Structure 1
Amino acid sequence: MEHFLADDGEKIHLKISGTGRPVVLLHGWTSTHRDWSPFLEALEPAHQVFRWDARGHGGHALRTGHPPHVARMARDLHNLLDHWQLQDVALVGHSMGALTLWQYLQDYGDGRVSRVAFIDQSPRLLTDDGWAMGIYGDFDAARNRDFIRALEADFAETVLRLAAQGHNARARSRYQENAAGIVRARAFLRQLDPAPLIECWRSLTEADYRAVLGKIRVPALLVYGGASNFYSTGTALHVRDSIPNALLHIYPDVDHAPHLVERERFTRDLLDFLRRLGNE
């Protein structure tokens, strides 16, 4: 893998491939750059593709000790764009990656950005009396404190239960049956250092990007799962209606990773969205 140094000295690892207009792909919490591998063949002929392992992710131990708080990851993204002097870049974020992208837009604006895409995420994860579009529709601060304590006790199992205990019945069934995919995911999660990932989760659940949505001036693609583990269709509609120039696709009967479940459809939707760059 290649790497660059963030402005605090942390080494950020990434893969770069393809030629053409730059696209930066931001993965979700506990995941890695490998999430984007299925889309490289389609993207690389027309795009230079940047896929990082976010700070504290991908099995790369932190050198500085600075945890992967969402504001720090957004600054890492800013450093990445500076390091490769990228302009007119398309930014695509899934889950935590979408939150990182919203934080980036809040802190640095969209002057260097041509397009943005957000995959199955709410601008505020925690719910309260006035906001029911976060996790599960009823994941409030007290429930989050209990969740963090559970992460500290058994990180891998608690992460698996987060997806299994949501809206998606198939995910719940696979967890109860201890399906092969659950076994593989558990083994992967048990290899991770939980401390920085728990700190990352704290920062994600403290964030609120509802005010950012209306300030996004560049075209936005939204892809949501119609059977997301975490979010209702109402969340997707709220995000669409809050961003001035947003195109929403809801993939029916698909979970929190619609791009990975419906790979061919997502590839078509993303390429169509990106091709418009050359027509404006």
Structure 2
Amino acid sequence: MDSFSADDGERIHLKISGSGAPLVLLHGWTSTHRDWNPFLEDFEARHQVLRWDARGHGGHALRTTSVPTVERMARDLHNLLDHYGLEKAVVVGHSMGALTLWQYLRDFGSRRLSRVVVIDQSPKLLTDDDWKSGIYGDFDHRRNARFMHELEGDFAEAVLRLAAFGHNERSRAKYLENGSGIETARQRLRALDPRPLIDCWASLSAADYRDVLQTISIPALLVYGGASNFYSTGTAEYVRDSIPNALLHIYDGVDHAPHLWERGRFIRDVLDFVALPAG
């Protein structure tokens, strides 16, 4: 596995493969670079693919005292582009990766990027009286405080329950059946150091990128799950309507990871989108 030093001295671990125009893949919260393995053969045929373990993720112990906030991860992305001399990169962000991408655009602009792909994310996770397009449509500061308390008590179970008790009935049923897949996920989560991930969640849930969306001037592809655990199609439509000339695909019947459920379709959608003429 490759690595580079961020500007605070933290080692950021990543895999690099393929050749061609750079394609940077940003995974979700509690996940790793391995989430992208199903797409590598097709993406590597046309692109140099860079997929990291975000700071505090992937089982890599932190070497610095820097908290893995979304601002820090966006700076890590800036450091990655600098370290490898990348220009005109396509950046794909799933869930937390989309928030990292939006923070990057807020802090550094789009000069180094050519296109962006956002997978199933809201620009503001927490809801309030004027915003119902966050988690579940009714996940406010009070509910988030309870969730963070649950993370402190049993991190793995709290994460599993967050996904299970949302909009997706299949996810709820799988959790309640408590089969081998859920137990595998539970053991994977229990192997993680929860502290940096809890600190990371605090940052993610405090963020608001609604103002960033309208400033995105490069082509944007949006891929959302029609049966997302967390978001309604109204969230997807809000993001589409807020980004100038965004292209939205809703994958019917699948959850917060539409790219994993519809792998072939996602590969085609991304490669076709990247191949579109500029302008």
SS at match of 1:63: coil
Q: CA deviation at 1:65?
A: 2.0
Q: 1:31-82: per-residue Cα shift (whole Å, max 9, x none)?
A: 0000001111001111000000000000000000212100000000000000
CA distance in 1, matches of 2:260, 2:131: 28
The farther-off stretch of 268-277 and 6-15 is: 268-277
CA distance in 1, matches of 2:68, 2:17: 25
SS at match of 2:90: strand
Compute the RMSD of aligned alpha carbons. 0.8
SS at match of 2:49: strand
Alignment partner, residue 188 of structure 1: 188
The letter of the residue matching 2:17 is S
Alignment partner, residue 257 of structure 1: 257
Alignment partner, residue 151 of structure 2: 151
SS at match of 2:203: helix
Q: 1:139-167: per-residue Cα shift (whole Å, max 9, x none)?
A: 00011001000000000000000000000
Alignment partner, residue 46 of structure 1: 46
- Matching of residues 198-277 of structure 1 within 5 Å: 198-276=198-276
Q: CA deviation at 1:181?
A: 1.3
Q: Does 1:18 align with 2:18?
A: yes
SS at match of 2:130: coil
Q: CA deviation at 1:276?
A: 2.0
Q: CA deviation at 1:245?
A: 1.8
SS at match of 2:30: coil
CA distance in 2, matches of 1:240, 1:180: 37
Alignment partner, residue 2 of structure 1: 2
SS at match of 1:185: helix
Q: 1:69-99: per-residue Cα shift (whole Å, max 9, x none)?
A: 0000000000000001100000000000000
List runs of 5+ in structure 1 lacking aligned partners: none
Q: Does 1:133 align with 2:133?
A: yes
Q: 1:115-143: per-residue Cα shift (whole Å, max 9, x none)?
A: 00000000000000000000000000011
Q: CA deviation at 1:104?
A: 0.1
Runs of 4+ more than 3 Å apart: none
Q: CA deviation at 1:19?
A: 0.3
Alignment partner, residue 79 of structure 1: 79
Q: CA deviation at 1:274?
A: 1.3
The farther-off stretch of 174-183 and 26-35 is: 174-183
The letter of the residue matching 1:259 is H
**Count of residues in correspondence between the two structures:** 279
TM-score by length of 2: 0.99
